[in-house]
């Protein structure tokens, strides 16, 4: 991993920060077990960051500290995963991310940031936390290309928990359209329109699909709704005018 100039500058001129972390470690040793674990994680991350900056292939002290505390303070897996990425060990990083997802679902969004298109990570998140809408949508997105029918089911399950998520309704409509379930797609777009997804895509897509299906009255309604959400949107105006001219 190539470290930014800002990070190197920060490291070079942050002696007080390092001393503060060391003081926290020493102080934590005489306090509660939770504080001790936090101190070990901070010190372990500090040692690993120093190792990356110095180009050291392995920093055994930092790794030992984080591995020691990880089973009882899973946040440590994040530091280990970050370090593994820094030294280019993707396999090891994957094992740490799996453990992080197992114990700390609140870090799933961070895992997705560094592995956005990784179906393996999406599957792990869903297997450990199948009831979470985030897991359902993540795996659903990962399966759109290979198994769109299952992706649609996962989206439906997720939307049972967050029915007000207009963007997800529009995505579900797109999935249904891929597998030629046009009626279901129109219903999904309608929900996206109802919940006013960003950009007015639900109304716009519903209008186009309704027109394609020959349901002119519905198409007019959705084009008008599109203009309510995106005033002056030229394509919707043109479609609406063309439908009025049919009368």
For the stretch 113-136, pLDDT in tens is 888 878 999 999 999 999 999 999
Regions of the chain with pLDDT less than 70: 1-59, 246-247
Residue 99 belongs to a domain = yes
Residue 19 belongs to a domain = yes
Q: How confident is the model at residue 160, as a pLDDT?
A: 97
Q: Are 106 and 113 in contact (CB under 8 A)?
A: no
Residue 125 belongs to a domain = no
Domain count, the chain: 1
Q: How far apart are CA 113 and CA 116, in angstroms?
A: 5
Of 73, 117, 115, 113, which Cα lies nearest the Cα of 95?
Answer: 115
**Containing domain of residue 63, as a range?**
1-115
How distant, in Å, are the alpha carbons of 23, 161, 174, 213, 230 from that of 209? Answer: 64, 26, 11, 6, 18
Q: How confident is the model at residue 66, as a pLDDT?
A: 77
Residue 243 belongs to a domain = no
For the stretch 178-210, pLDDT in tens is 999 999 999 999 999 999 998 899 999 999 999
Residue 44 belongs to a domain = yes
């Amino acid at each position: 991993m190539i470290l930014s100039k800002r990070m190197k500058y920060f490291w070079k001129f942050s002696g007080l920060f390092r001393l503060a972390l060391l003081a926290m470690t020493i102080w934590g040793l005489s306090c509660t077990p939770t504080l001790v674990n936090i101190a070990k994680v901070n010190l372990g991350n500090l040692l690993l960051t120093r190792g990356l900056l110095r180009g050291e292939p392995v920093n055994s002290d930092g790794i030992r500290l984080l591995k020691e505390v990880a089973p009882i303070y899973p946040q440590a897996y994040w530091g280990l995963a970050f370090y593994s990425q820094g030294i280019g060990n993707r396999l090891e990083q994957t094992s740490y991310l799996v453990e992080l997802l197992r114990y700390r679902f609140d870090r799933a969004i961070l895992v997705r940031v560094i592995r956005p298109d990784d179906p393996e990570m999406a599957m792990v998140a869903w297997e450990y936390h199948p009831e979470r809408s985030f897991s359902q949508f993540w795996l659903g997105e990962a399966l759109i290309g290979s198994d769109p029918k299952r992706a649609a089911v996962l989206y439906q399950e997720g939307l049972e928990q967050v029915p007000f998520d207009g963007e997800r309704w529009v995505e579900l409509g797109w999935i249904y359209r891929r597998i030629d379930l046009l009626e279901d797609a129109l219903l999904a777009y309608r929900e996206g329109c109802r919940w006013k997804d960003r950009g007015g895509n639900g109304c716009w897509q519903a209008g186009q699909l309704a027109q394609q299906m020959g349901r002119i009255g519905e198409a007019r309604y959705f084009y008008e709704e599109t203009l309510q959400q995106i005033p002056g949107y030229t394509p919707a105006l043109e479609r609406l005018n063309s439908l009025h001219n049919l009368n």
